[in-house]
Amino acid sequence: MTIHQEFNIGELAREFDITTRTIRHYEDLGLLKPRRQGQSRIYSPADRTRLKLILRGKRLGFSLEESRAIVDLYDPTHGNIQQLQALLEHIGQQRDKLNQQLDDIGKMLSSLDEAEAGCRAALDKTRERTKEKPREQT
Amino acid sequence: MTIHQEFNIGELAREFDITTRTIRHYEDLGLLKPRRQGQSRIYSPADRTRLKLILRGKRLGFSLEESRAIVDLYDPTHGNIQQLQALLEHIGQQRDKLNQQLDDIGKMLSSLDEAEAGCRAALDKTRERTKEKPREQT
DNA sequence: TGCGAACTTTACGTTTACGTAAAGGTAAAC
DNA sequence: GTTTACCTTTACGTAAACGTAAAGTTCGCA
């Protein structure tokens, strides 16, 4: 027997540090479709995963529409060939975008290294001028 | 003699595939400060670099305010110690965010691999059923 | 000299991604 | 039974990042 843990909206909001409004907003856009128990929304582990993917997309600067595309890769209506080929193409595009981001991040990180080095150098100079003792590592 | 190439707004817009409105918008926010020749804006290579950094930030989902912080790392008013230490802290935060993104991208890329595999498998099955000849690689 | 193709400013409009308030239902706890 | 703490819907508000239209200037050239 697998454990079928389910979640209500407040639990998910707390877990991912977002508001319930945000979760409902995603539902308005059709990104989530929790089942209902009376009025209340009940989220399955699959729903939770979808939400996690959406938030990951957000951290990467994806729009919710872009995230929808990503999320939909996980339960595609494996319909006809054209759909599948369109899907493959889309996967390729996503990969390209992510690789571009990898490149951007690499450049930014080395820029940060430079900036940090320059910054530390400037700090040292300032300390020298003010005859301050070198500080402990921060 | 180093070449001091300068640019007008249209050249930059074309180079980076954005509108002139966008560039002026960045100026409104204080992200760019081109010199003027009469009425017209003239951009230095440094201005161009700032623009490039802003757009890189955009690709990574940074807000313009976040990009401002990044861009400012390149010509900080190397003022007092507090400023420099705040700067170091900020650099650390940026690094953390980028590393989080690296992690996110890794996970997304492997997800895409899975999705692609599943997609190709489904395609193969479909071809099998329809007794279609395998297609050339796309 | 007058046309087109650039540039300029001003200003209202639009999309995305929620925030926030209003008004109410439900269920355990005191 | 009435707080308290959730949940619900509806709906207007808002910040960010530009789009877009209007109206004007300036430059090169045919």
Are B98 and A91 in contact (CB < 8 Å)? no
As a rounded value in angstroms, the CA-to-C1' distance for A113 and C7 is 39
Return the pLDDT at B54: 97
What are A26-56's pLDDT values in tens digits?
999 999 999 999 999 999 999 999 999 999 9
What are B59-109's pLDDT values in tens digits?
999 999 999 988 887 765 656 666 667 777 878 888 888 889 998 998 988
Residues of B in contact with A127 (CB under 8 A): 81
How far is the C-alpha of B67 from the C-alpha of B72, rounded, in Å? 8
**What's the one-letter identity of residue B95?**
R
Q: Is B100 on the interface with A (CB under 8 A)?
A: yes
Average the pLDDT over B16-20 and give the result: 97
| Three-state DSSP state, A62 | coil
Return the pLDDT at B80: 64
**Sequence-separated contacts (24+) of B98-101 with Cβ below 8 Å:** B98/A105, B98/A108, B98/A109, B98/A112, B98/B60, B100/A59, B101/A59, B101/A60, B101/A101, B101/A105, B101/B60
What are A24-33's pLDDT values in tens digits?
999 999 999 9
Average the pLDDT over B24-41 and give the result: 96
How far is the C-alpha of B138 from the C-alpha of B134, rounded, in Å? 11
Average the pLDDT over B17-28 and give the result: 97
Tell whether the model's pLDDT for residue A106 goes beyond 70: yes
Are B60 and A108 in contact (CB < 8 Å)? yes
In angstroms, the Cα distances linking B127 to A80, A82, A86, B119, B133 are: 10, 12, 16, 12, 7
What are B106-134's pLDDT values in tens digits?
898 888 888 888 778 877 777 776 665 55
Tell whether the model's pLDDT for residue B138 goes beyond 50: no
CA A108 to chain centroid, in Å, comes to 19
The average confidence (pLDDT) of chain B is 85
What are A1-25's pLDDT values in tens digits?
555 689 999 999 999 999 999 999 9
How far is the C-alpha of B96 from the C-alpha of B108, rounded, in Å? 18
How far is the C-alpha of B30 from the C-alpha of B27, rounded, in Å? 5
Tell whether the model's pLDDT for residue A137 goes beyond 70: no
Report which of residues A138 and A14 the model is more confident about: A14
Return the pLDDT at B24: 98
Q: Which residues contact A98 (CB under 8 A, 6 or more apart)?
A: A60, B105, B108, B109, B112
Q: Is B63 on the interface with A (CB under 8 A)?
A: no
Return the pLDDT at B94: 84
φ and ψ of B43, to 5 deg:
-105, 130
Q: A138: pLDDT confidence band, cut at 50, 70 and 90?
A: very low
| Positions of chain D reached by protein Cβ under 7 A | 6-11, 16-20, 25-27
Return the pLDDT at A115: 80
φ and ψ of A89, to 5 deg:
-60, -40
| Positions of chain C reached by protein Cβ under 7 A | 6-11, 16-20, 25-27
